[in-house]
Structure 1
């Protein structure tokens, strides 16, 4: 793999702003996602991919035909082109740090923004490697443009090395994954793969086939505004009621106090005035029974406070978002085993653990395309401290090539 070629490709992708918008029902949610999609469409044609198709919903699919004379399952690889709206992805200025020395990386001297291993200790795993960061004013976009880079680079490598045997491979780049819609208009039948892998994990070695069950909740609290000088017995302050609701939920079951299989309630948006306050939560749990209990607790909490107040001040609307892919992957666990074997063959220690989030793969698995998740290499997603080691991008690219080869051996 040509290291500089991969760096150049990744830098090209991340400097194209593709931030998605959770408040826009259009598909894709932002027009600028088309900018990268069209760049990729041309690039896939240029490297020699076949059946390159960018559809009306900004899904880009392509085929690498089989170069063997017997039938093996068609395998897919998927990544998303959008970046998170949690932090700006406009005017990304990547910084390439060769031979990382294990010390603080100054991202922005003027604003005193520092990426430090004393806080982000995972950095020390990559001492001596090439680290790509931002200038501290944007996110990087390794989530998931590292995955896009890896898939394109792997396809290019296989085309340039026909001596490497592989079956038919399908790839797809999706929009709007970061706002939960990445699989909503994915045409599984047209894709035509028996299974796929999302290249959307974090540190090197990650291999995941379990993810959160997920729901979103909107809690609306209605109050009554009265002149504060004459408010006794009349004013109903929705923000005060909102604080009761917030404090009634388990204080330790929040993202900053949980890990592993532990679920949480996450209050991510709060807008309020006396007359009305709106709280927006995400609810997460790997276990379906516990997940349903979390939803029930939110409804019960609202009901309890309403009874205390003697009025229906609080209403809660809960919508399921996606479910744990484990149920759909376990019956075909050999697809995880193949990826695990490839990593071990390469000297990579597989880190098989639950995803504390979701990927396109979780929804695709329920749509008939079992889809575990493989590391893409980045760290500290969705913020100014995001970084990716170039060596991890290269290793992920090699894992894709290895899976293509392994399938021809397993199904001969």
Structure 2
């Protein structure tokens, strides 16, 4: 059997190409996908999949890419899907990304040239300790890199090309799914699982080498609208009730020593404002609410409501509206029912010569919702680090191991199947 090698730096070339295509999603957009530029990458991927020899690759109207690698086994192998998202985070610009390859990294500070105040230090990025001698990729200092999740996209593409080119590697039917809008919680809103036709899946969207994640946050989104009273500021005494100031009071009254991203870790959840807009008459804030336990998640939403009620009592003519919407739930509830999915992922990582790290993720993936939609789907490492910001980085060598893990997953499911 052929062993995967990154011939002619094909994986690196794919990744460099993909990150330079702006695919930032927009939480305020009502369209699907939320930004049409996500389709720019999707079209490239479809063209490349067809060039590989995957003839059914196509892009649908909602910006999803579907493709199939047919089985080459005589066994009845479960259909396995590999999934990554194409969009990048709204939190940091993804326009004009300039990837930089820091070859043979030796532990030095990485000063990014387009903004020399952006510096990657090993003391602040402890995973860099494991990258000595490797090739680290960053952006140039003015944008994110886009390794979240174009590392996963490139890895799936590279694994697909390898499997097609090496029919001696026996596998069942492999499905490929690339999604838009994962970063804004809509990644599988329009995914057609009947068309996909997979039994089990793996998102390739994790961080540290060797990690496999079977547990995520449960997540809600909240929109708080304050309706104030506006009048001429020169004659406002006893009349004006500023929605801006009321909203500011609400946010400043939320706990900062706990229930905040800046002060939580591990299994601790949070209540986090991500966007504010408005005027004296009307102001709005959007929140993300996170917890590993659904009851705790509900309590965090209730705390937000109680905080608003307490503040607005001092403003008799102001009113408010709070809408809390479910986004995704902790996928562990589903994955615990399918231990083979996790076991095969762990075995695939071990077969790549890596020590597996089964863990929870303080975030979510498309796999969170896919699991509850009937496609049990843990998350495998992609080698992305410090995502959603200008210090984002990835390691080519870690990405190569992710490709090898994907190939091993396909191989292991086939080995375990019966004729």
Q: TM-score range by the shorter chain?
A: over 0.9
TM-score with structure 1 setting the length: 0.95
Q: Is 1:50–1:65's contact at 8 Å kept on the other side of the alignment? A: no
- The residue number in structure 1 matching 2:363 is 357
* Alignment size in residue pairs: 412
- The residue number in structure 2 matching 1:79 is 84
**Greater mean deviation of Cα atoms: 219-228 or 95-104:** 219-228
In the TM superposition, 1:310-349 aligns within 5 A as 310-349=316-355
Q: In the superposition, relative to structure 1, how do residues 112 and 307 fare at CA in structure 2: closer, same or farther (>3 Å)?
A: closer
Q: In the superposition, relative to structure 1, how do residues 110 and 367 fare at CA in structure 2: closer, same or farther (>3 Å)?
A: closer
Matched, 1:2 2:15: no
TM-aligned CA deviation for residue 97 of structure 1: 0.9
**Greater mean deviation of Cα atoms: 393-402 or 203-212:** 203-212
Matched, 1:250 2:255: yes
- The residue number in structure 2 matching 1:368 is 374
Of residues 153, 159, 170, the one that matches 1:154 is: 159
Of residues 119, 135, 154, the one that matches 2:124 is: 119
Q: In the superposition, relative to structure 1, how do residues 337 and 218 fare at CA in structure 2: closer, same or farther (>3 Å)?
A: same
In the TM superposition, 1:233-244 aligns within 5 A as 233-244=238-249
Of residues 251, 276, 284, the one that matches 1:278 is: 284
Q: 2-side partners of 1:182 and 1:110: how far apart? A: 32
Q: Is 2:114–2:142's contact at 8 Å kept on the other side of the alignment? A: no
Q: Secondary structure at the match of 1:108?
A: coil
Q: Is 1:151–1:400's contact at 8 Å kept on the other side of the alignment? A: yes
Q: 2-side partners of 1:178 and 1:340: how far apart? A: 26
In the TM superposition, 1:6-405 aligns within 5 A as 6-108=11-113, 111-251=116-256, 252-405=258-411
Mark the runs of 5 or more structure 2 residues left unpaired by the alignment: none
Q: In the superposition, relative to structure 1, how do residues 110 and 201 fare at CA in structure 2: closer, same or farther (>3 Å)?
A: closer
TM-aligned CA deviation for residue 110 of structure 1: 5.7
Q: 2-side partners of 1:335 and 1:58: how far apart? A: 28
Q: Secondary structure at the match of 2:107?
A: coil
TM-score with structure 2 setting the length: 0.94
Q: Is 2:228–2:318's contact at 8 Å kept on the other side of the alignment? A: no
Q: 1-side partners of 2:343 and 2:116: how far apart? A: 46
Q: In the superposition, relative to structure 1, how do residues 90 and 214 fare at CA in structure 2: closer, same or farther (>3 Å)?
A: same
Q: Deviations over 1:49-83 (max 9, x none)?
A: 24222222221111111111121111110011111
**Greater mean deviation of Cα atoms: 392-401 or 207-216:** 207-216
**Greater mean deviation of Cα atoms: 382-391 or 318-327:** 318-327
Q: Is 2:65–2:178's contact at 8 Å kept on the other side of the alignment? A: yes
Q: In the superposition, relative to structure 1, how do residues 243 and 328 fare at CA in structure 2: closer, same or farther (>3 Å)?
A: same
Q: Secondary structure at the match of 1:147?
A: helix
Q: Deviations over 1:194-219 (max 9, x none)?
A: 01000011111121121111111112
Deviation above 4 Å: which 4+ runs of structure 1?
none
Q: Deviations over 1:127-167 (max 9, x none)?
A: 11000111111111111111111111111111222221111
Q: Secondary structure at the match of 2:385?
A: coil
TM-aligned CA deviation for residue 280 of structure 1: 1.6
Q: Is 1:108–1:114's contact at 8 Å kept on the other side of the alignment? A: no
Q: 1-side partners of 2:253 and 2:35: how far apart? A: 37
Q: Is 2:331–2:367's contact at 8 Å kept on the other side of the alignment? A: yes
Q: 2-side partners of 1:309 and 1:229: how far apart? A: 19
Mark the runs of 5 or more structure 1 residues left unpaired by the alignment: none
Q: Is 2:229–2:318's contact at 8 Å kept on the other side of the alignment? A: no
Q: Is 2:273–2:288's contact at 8 Å kept on the other side of the alignment? A: yes
Q: In the superposition, relative to structure 1, how do residues 110 and 133 fare at CA in structure 2: closer, same or farther (>3 Å)?
A: closer
**Greater mean deviation of Cα atoms: 31-40 or 220-229:** 220-229
Q: Is 1:210–1:325's contact at 8 Å kept on the other side of the alignment? A: yes
